[in-house]
Amino acid sequence: MPKPPIGRLAPSPTGVIHLGNIRSFLLAWLDIRSRNGTLLLRVEDLDSPRVKKGSAAQLIADLEWLGLDYDSEIVFQSQRSTLYEEALQKLIGQGNVYPCACSRREIELAASAPHAEDGSTVYPLTCYQRFSSYGEASECAGRPACWRFHFEQSNIRFTDGFCGDKDFETKSLSDFIVSKNNGEAAYQLAVVVDDAAQGVTEVLRGDDLLDSAARQIAIYQALGVDVPTFKHVPLVAGEDGKRLAKRHGDTSLNHFKQHNVSPQKIIGWLAYASGLTRDLHECLPQQLLGDFDLKKLDAKPLVWRGDFTT
Ligand code: GLU
């Protein structure tokens, strides 16, 4: 018998949750709960300027309203800096990271090509093997330097549980920041340290993080810890095929609540429009468990046409 999986919901409390997040959370919840696994909730509240006060409490209440429950205590990344620091020290000791003095603007100017739709750029390796110490890099920057992870391998290959075989050239992923110049762990490091520490065996999330999985695998390998199974699912898009955004109308949970839309309506529509149910009917996540099979999920983005009827 395979061991029951351990999964997680890892929202960032950067504002209100919307249809796109709800669908990814619903799928992560169903995928774990349908196999009697354990589902953890981790609030990714590290990105200080983007983290909004009160958002974490709102998020927790919203998940409950939707019927998406979780097991054990909630973990907050803002309380786990010691763990991230230990991992960083290990990477420094092994020579997997180097101090970087570049500003965002310098990197953008020197970058050869934009990397992905999210506007991130390929790091031109300006600071690779440039400084003999962190202090020297900080002096050059005129402020604390950040730490960048250096890929040793040319490719990262893995099999995604939804998208299939993937092969990323590390040249295009480019050396990336694991510790910011304010000393806070960057997303890529924190997520790996936490998933490893919490014993997460499966990660299901939106496919905008598919290339992040490749970066994270390199960190797992450097830290010598087991890599979880990744499943990256399509996002929700507007009728123009683009990722759901403000121009497609307000799809925040708050907006739907204000218009008396029930959780059953939202969940029922998401399940139907995602290909999980044969007909459109209102339901709660619990009622989808019996028939759930991730293979039924449409491989194309789910299109939001402005209401819960189509
Ligand atoms: N906290 C991240 C976000 O909300 C997700 C991290 C992850 O699932 O790995 O975008």
Please give the domain boundaries of the chain with CATH numbers for all domains.
Answer: 6-79+234-303 (3.40.50.620), 81-189 (3.90.800.10)
C-alpha 159/C-alpha 108 separation (Å) is: 31
Residue 105 has pLDDT above 80, yes or no: no
Triad 111, 117, 121: Cα angle to 5°: 15
Nearest to 227 by CA among 170, 165, 160: 160
**pTM: predicted TM-score of the whole model, two decimal places:** 0.94
C-alpha 39/C-alpha 288 separation (Å) is: 16
Residue 114 has pLDDT above 70, yes or no: no
What is the token pair recorded at 160? 């995604």
Best residue among 8, 12, 18, 200 to mutate for probing ligand 1's pocket (most ligand atoms within 8 Å of CB) is 12
Per-residue pLDDT, 100: 97
| Residue 131 backbone class (left: φ over 0; alpha: ψ -120 to 50; beta: rest) | beta
Minimal-distance CA residue to ligand 1 atom 6: 10
Tokens 């019927």, residue located: 67
Q: Which of the two residues, 103 and 293, has the higher pLDDT score?
A: 293
The confidence band for 110, taking pLDDT boundaries of 50, 70 and 90, is low
Q: Which of the two residues, 112 and 177, has the higher pLDDT score?
A: 177
Region of poorest pLDDT, from 44-53, 234-243, 248-257? 44-53
What average pLDDT score do residues 235-255 get? 92
Percent of the chain with pLDDT over 90: 84
Torsion angle (degrees, nearest 10) of CA 160, 208, 156, 299 = 30
Eight-class DSSP state of 209: G
In whole angstroms, what separates CA 283 from the centre of its chain?
27
Per-residue pLDDT, 115: 32
Backbone angles phi, psi at 190, to 5 degrees: -60, -40
Per-residue pLDDT, 170: 97
Residue 51 has pLDDT above 90, yes or no: no
Ligand 1 pocket residue status of 63, Cβ below 6 Å: no
Tally Cβ neighbours within 10 Å of residue 207: 18
Spacing, Cα 228 to ligand 1 middle (Å): 15
Q: Which of the two residues, 166 and 118, has the higher pLDDT score?
A: 166
Q: Which of the two residues, 271 and 245, has the higher pLDDT score?
A: 271
Per-residue pLDDT, 49: 76
Ligand 1 pocket residue status of 209, Cβ below 6 Å: yes
Residue 75, C-beta contacts closer than 8 angstroms, at least 6 positions apart: 40, 41, 42, 43, 194, 198
Per-residue pLDDT, 108: 62
C-alpha 81/C-alpha 73 separation (Å) is: 18
Per-residue pLDDT, 288: 98
Nearest to 128 by CA among 189, 171, 185, 187: 171
Nearest to 188 by CA among 287, 91, 296: 91
The confidence band for 53, taking pLDDT boundaries of 50, 70 and 90, is confident
Ligand 1 pocket residue status of 294, Cβ below 6 Å: no
What's the one-letter identity of residue 300? K
Q: What pLDDT digit, counting tens, does each position of 173-224 carry?
A: 999 999 998 899 999 999 999 999 999 999 999 999 999 999 999 999 999 9
Residue 118 has pLDDT above 60, yes or no: no
What's the one-letter identity of residue 234? P
Tokens 């490749």, residue located: 214
What average pLDDT score do residues 267-276 get? 97
The confidence band for 120, taking pLDDT boundaries of 50, 70 and 90, is low
> Which atom of ligand 1 sits closest to the CA of residue 11?
4
Spacing, Cα 150 to ligand 1 middle (Å): 22
Ligand 1 pocket residue status of 14, Cβ below 6 Å: no
Minimal-distance CA residue to ligand 1 atom 7: 10
What average pLDDT score do residues 77-104 get? 96
> Which atom of ligand 1 sits closest to the CA of residue 44?
1
Q: Which of the two residues, 244 and 264, has the higher pLDDT score?
A: 264
Spacing, Cα 6 to ligand 1 middle (Å): 16
